[in-house]
Amino acid sequence: MAIQYLKRAAKTSATGEDETRQIVADMLAEIERDGESAARAYGVKLDDWDGDIEVGSDAIEAAARQVPDQLKDDLKFAHDRVRGFAERQRASIGEFEAELSPGLWAGQRLIPVQTAGCYVPGGRYAHVASAIMSITTAKVAGVENVIACSAPSQAHGGIHPAILYTMDMCGADHILALGGVQGIAAMAFGLFTGRKANILVGPGNRFVAEAKRLLFGRVGIDLFAGPTEILIIADGSADPAIVANDLVGQAEHGPDSPAWLVTTDHGLAEKVMARMPGLIAALPEVQRNAAEAAWRDYGEVVLCDSAEEAAAASDEYAPEHLELQTTTDSWYVERLTNYGSLFVGEETTVAFGDKCSGTNHILPTKGAGHYTGGLSVHKFIKIVTTQRMTKEANEEVAAVTARISRLEGMEGHARTGDVRLAKYFPGKNFDLSP
């Protein structure tokens, strides 16, 4: 029997893309043309903020005074684990040089990018964890200059104090009170700081994600990170209350945040679906409205006949966050290949990874898990190659290069080998035809 959709989404991740693309393209063009004045104007229009854009030390100190000691301890807890994980990632790669044949050495060097732009969402929620994930990871990678930005508000007199404190704690070198497309554009074009970002990282809404996509190529980006996603694979052993709560926990991110359940047990599916309306209704208003729309328009429940079918369905989704709540979790761990981050067993959940357990929460969405993982120190480091060789090694390498080049019709390439053979081995005849 083919898989059954007990609940099918009314919308997909592509819904509204054309409109979003045009809005963002127009904004980027205007900000690039008119510079800081245009970015400021969008800050006034979209965030109702006409204060300072580059945040100074006085504002940072004032923010720190507003952050309770318990929250400071919690932020340090999260920072320590994210930094520790990133340090182990950094230690897992290294530089080397190896002699591939007599007299020919090739190697790699690890060079951090000079400037990273870290976007920290600050609209509906105060995403302090996103500041930790992006800025900390960049600093562990060795990035010299980190620019961070987040949306300000009149209510907070600028950036949310906890976000501002966290940005500074993690080592941001410049902080901009700009959100949305204007924040992304300011970092990419070097506005207010005079330093153009080499790479843009961080999650955001569909406008932020589209701005990064349109700028990709001119700058690097971490990945295509649109609205957050969760998929749970569960069997009859799973606790329907925990499964439903985990789905709602991600749906509250926004009205376009997909929440998917893939299960081999019809009874579990029915129990989970029955719980969803009540759990959503019990949320505060802002979160309730977001989760209600997300579950209505993007939620799906897929019933499968077998674990193989469930794994195949999950791999097709390539979800950002993937939870396993089955009696055969280890089998799924070995079988699954497409996801951003995997949460194995009932004892862990997406929120743990999102906030403080150590792995990075900036992850691929919209199917990007088919070809990339999430943010890591590797994204901030250029792995570049080197080579050197002796004159004696040219006898073989230059001759092979010349023959292959002539086969390809690239005579100029061939002659760069010829000239070295003539210099290093005068009087010696070489067969340099293909």
pLDDT for 15 beyond 90: no
pLDDT band at 198; cut points 50, 70, 90: very high
Mapping DSSP onto H, E and C, the string for the chain reads CCCEEEECCCCCCCCCHHHHHHHHHHHHHHHHHHCHHHHHHHHHHHHCCCCCCECCHHHHHHHHHHCCHHHHHHHHHHHHHHHHHHHHHHHCCCCEEEEEECCEEEEEEEEECCEEEEECCCCCCCCHHHHHHHHHHHHHHCCCEEEEECCEECCCCEECHHHHHHHHHHCCCEEECCCHHHHHHHHHHCCCCCCCCCEEECCCCHHHHHHHHHHECCEEECCCCCCCCEEEEECCCCCHHHHHHHHHHHHCCCCCCCEEEEECCHHHHHHHHHHHHHHHHCCCHHHHHHHHHHHHHHCEEEECCCHHHHHHHHHHHCCCEEEEECCCHHHHHHHCCCCCEEEECCCCCHHHHHHCCCCCCCCCCCCHHHCCCCCCHHHHEEEEEEEEECCCCHHHHHHHHHHHHHHHCCHHHHHHHHHHHHHHCCCCCCCCCC
Catalytic site residues? 320-321
> Is the model's pLDDT at 14 over the cut of 70?
no
Domains present along the chain, CATH in parentheses? 4-15+227-373 (3.40.50.1980), 35-222+378-383 (3.40.50.1980), 391-434 (no CATH)
pLDDT in tens, 319-359: 999 999 999 999 999 999 999 999 999 999 999 999 999 99
- Residue 122's pLDDT is what? 84
Check whether 239 has a pLDDT greater than 90.
Answer: yes
Residue 211 has pLDDT above 90, yes or no: yes
Confidence of residue 206 (pLDDT cuts 50, 70, 90): confident
Mean pLDDT, all residues of the chain? 95
Predicted TM-score (pTM) of this structure: 0.90
pLDDT at 125 over 80: no
| Whether pLDDT at 1 is above 60 | no
Higher pLDDT: 206 or 93? It is 93
Q: What is the pLDDT of residues 406-427, one digit of tens each?
A: 999 999 999 999 999 999 999 9
Residue 23 in this model has a pLDDT that exceeds 80? yes
Residue 54: pLDDT band by 50, 70, 90 thresholds? very high
